[in-house]
Amino acid sequence: MKKRTIEVVVPPREPHYVGDGFRVHNFIPGAYRLNMERMTPFIMLDYNSKFYFPPSEVPKGVGVHPHRGFETVTIAYKGKVAHHDSAGNSGVIGEGEVQWMTAASGILHKEFHEENFSKSGGDFQMVQLWVNLPAKDKMSKPKYQGLTKEQISKFTLPDNKGVIEVIAGEYNGVKGAATTFTPVHLLNAKLNKGADTTFSFPQTYNTALLVIEGSVKVNDTEDVPVNHFVLFENDGESFTVHASEDAVVLVLSGEPIHEPIAAQGPFVMNTRKEIMEAIDDYNSGKFGHLED
């Protein structure tokens, strides 16, 4: 099995706010080499590195806004987020949990710090990932998957090395609970200091990792500190991760969607005409209704 080489290690960019509740470093599509076409099916990744929010009586977050043509995946490491959408779905996720929303044909949603977390304040750490949909599924019915800790599959590494949480896809025969439209592997590797583990995905899949906690050495050659992103070449299948200290690593790999991408703000379609249709449908109320 041929080893993948590292294409680039990307440090975090200066953070910016999404709404008033998410202080994020953008990696996809804004960072060096990480455009939508290179990273497909992953078309956006914002990372709220660990940040303390003081107590607030008014929950911080992002008010009502639309999406069409893709899925949003929110992974909680610290803090709690409350979600509501115009399809009638709602939920709260906390540490170790995931919200997977399929916007597809169009949805309104809002995300805020959960009320009790907001009142008490605390460390907040999240990833939001956008996963593109193939053209045939972009106008399918919206849906929502809320994954609790108990629903997330786990593979325990031998010799007290740690655990691999399988959100979607598969690791060593353990399958994730999230359903996907195209092949996607999304894993949280929670590794104890000194642990070594190997990941393997098809060579054609676009593959990367983000160091959430601690630091790691990749392929025995590259030291990667916390909050850094690693993109792999499509020249092999496997790569190794060594935990230089206790570490948490988000691993993502997916089959590319080889279709045109037309993106404008919260809409990701295949043509400019479809973008204009999305804007018209949103403005005419076809995405439903959701109170601010």
Cα–Cα distance, 214 to 225 (Å, whole number)? 7
- State how beta strands 61-67 and 107-113 pair: antiparallel
- pLDDT by residue (tens digit) across 169-225? 999 999 999 999 999 999 999 999 999 999 999 999 999 999 999 999 999 999 999
Q: Which residues pair with 238 in a beta bridge?
A: 3, 200
* CB-based contacts of 255, cutoff 8 Å, min separation 6: 41, 182, 183, 184, 202, 204, 205
**Domains, the chain:** 6-254 (2.60.120.10)
Question: What is the model's pLDDT at position 172?
Answer: 96
Q: Is residue 256 helix, strand or coil?
A: coil
Task: Give the tens place of pLDDT for each residue, 24-43.
Answer: 999 999 888 999 999 999 99
What predicted TM-score, i.e. pTM, was given to this entire model?
0.97
pLDDT at 245: 98
What's the CA gap between 9 and 3, in Å, rounded?
A: 17
DSSP 39: H
Q: What is the pLDDT along the chain (292 residues), one digit of tens a residue?
A: 899 999 999 999 999 999 999 999 999 998 889 999 999 999 999 999 999 999 999 999 999 999 999 999 999 999 999 999 999 999 999 999 999 999 999 999 999 999 999 999 999 999 999 999 999 999 999 999 999 999 999 999 999 999 999 999 999 999 999 999 999 999 999 999 999 999 999 999 999 999 999 999 999 999 999 999 999 999 999 999 999 999 999 999 999 999 999 999 999 999 999 999 999 999 999 999 998 8
- Which helix (DSSP H) or strand (DSSP E) does residue 14 occupy? none
